[in-house]
Amino acid sequence: MPIQRLNHAVLWVRDLQASARFYCDVLGLRARAEIPGRALFLAAPDTTNDHDLGLFALGPGAGPTEAGTRTVGLYHLAWEVDTLEELARLREALDAAGALVGFSDHTVSKSLYAKDPDGIELEVAWMVPAALVAGESGAGVAPLDLDAEIARYGPRTLTRSLTEA
Res. 108 pLDDT band, cuts 50 70 90: very high
pLDDT score of 161: 54
pLDDT of res. 4: 85
pLDDT at position 165: 46
Domains of the chain by start residue, with CATH: 1-60 (3.10.180.10), 75-165 (3.30.720.110)
pLDDT the model gives residue 135: 66
CA dist., res. 24 & res. 49, Å (int): 16
Q: Does 140 have pLDDT greater than 90? A: no
**Cβ–Cβ contacts within 10 Å for residue 114, how many?**
26
What predicted TM-score, i.e. pTM, was given to this entire model?
A: 0.91
Give me the sheet containing 53-57, strands edge to edge: 9-13, 53-57, 39-43, 30-35
Q: What are the tens digits of pLDDT across the range 16-61? A: 999 999 999 999 999 999 999 999 999 999 999 999 999 999 999 9
CB 26 within 8 A of CB 93: yes
DSSP, collapsed to helix, strand or coil, labels residue 151 as: helix
Distance linking the first and last C-alpha atoms of the chain: 20
Cα distance between residue 23 and residue 55, in whole Å: 10
